[in-house]
Amino acid sequence: MEQHNISSLKGYSLIFFPIYEQSHCYVMCININNKTLDILDNKILEEGMRRENKYYDYPEKLLGAFSVYMDSLGHKLKRPLTEYNVRIIEMPWRNNKSNTDCGIYTMKHMETYHAKKRWGCGLETDNDDILKQLRLKYSGEIISGKQNQKKADVNVKSSRWAHATN
């Protein structure tokens, strides 16, 4: 937040945290309006498994750490974040088929989640073609993004490669 010069949470309702844990990516989203921490995970929680067995105490730790951070900036919240309910968001496109595309799902979820009941982000149960398109889209955005400090090098190398293959 400091990087983007945000001095207040006023006007913000969702705060996204991409999580990478045990070779899996998913999103934890602090939902200020609903007073919840929403877990956006493309993997289905196995039947009979408790949330704590998959996500451990990470939601509570995130809420606690973000509360400490907000306090350090002088922000006083009406309700402590540690009192927020944790919920796993149900999504019809969730499946346990893919072990390699969780990063793509994570980016798509952060790009499109708005915490409304009807959330259509363009994903389906069978996502093979959609995931291929998203891999290309996100790769292109990362490579050509102004934050990419290697952008100029990549452009030079790709131009050389393009000329050499023609």
Q: Is 48 exposed, middle or buried (0-12, 13-18, 19+ CB in 10 A)?
A: exposed
Domain-wise residue ranges, the chain: 14-126
Instruction: Give the residue among 42, 40, 45 at the shortest CA–CA distance from 15.
Output: 40
Could you say which DSSP state residue 115 is in? -
38 forms beta bridges with 29, 87
User: How many CB atoms sit inside 10 A of residue 20's CB?
Assistant: 11
pLDDT at 99: 82
pTM: 0.88
pLDDT of res. 93: 94
Candidates 28, 107, 23; CA nearest to 62 is 28
β-bridge partners, 88? 39
3-class DSSP assignment, residue 64: helix
DSSP 8-state class, residue 77: -
Cβ(39)–Cβ(59) below 8 Å: yes
pLDDT tens column, 16-70? 999 999 999 999 999 999 999 999 999 999 999 999 999 999 999 999 999 998 8
Residue type, 121: C
Residue 1 has pLDDT above 60, yes or no: no
Class of domain 14-126: alpha beta
- The number of CA neighbours under 13 Å toward the Cβ of 139 is 7
Joined together, the tokens standing for residue 103 give: 């990063």
- Residue 5 binned pLDDT confidence (cut-offs 50, 70, 90): low
pLDDT digits (tens, 9 = 90+) for 79-125: 889 999 999 999 999 999 888 999 999 999 999 999 998 899 999 98
Q: Which alpha helices (H) appear in 73-145, and where do they start and end?
A: 102-112, 128-144
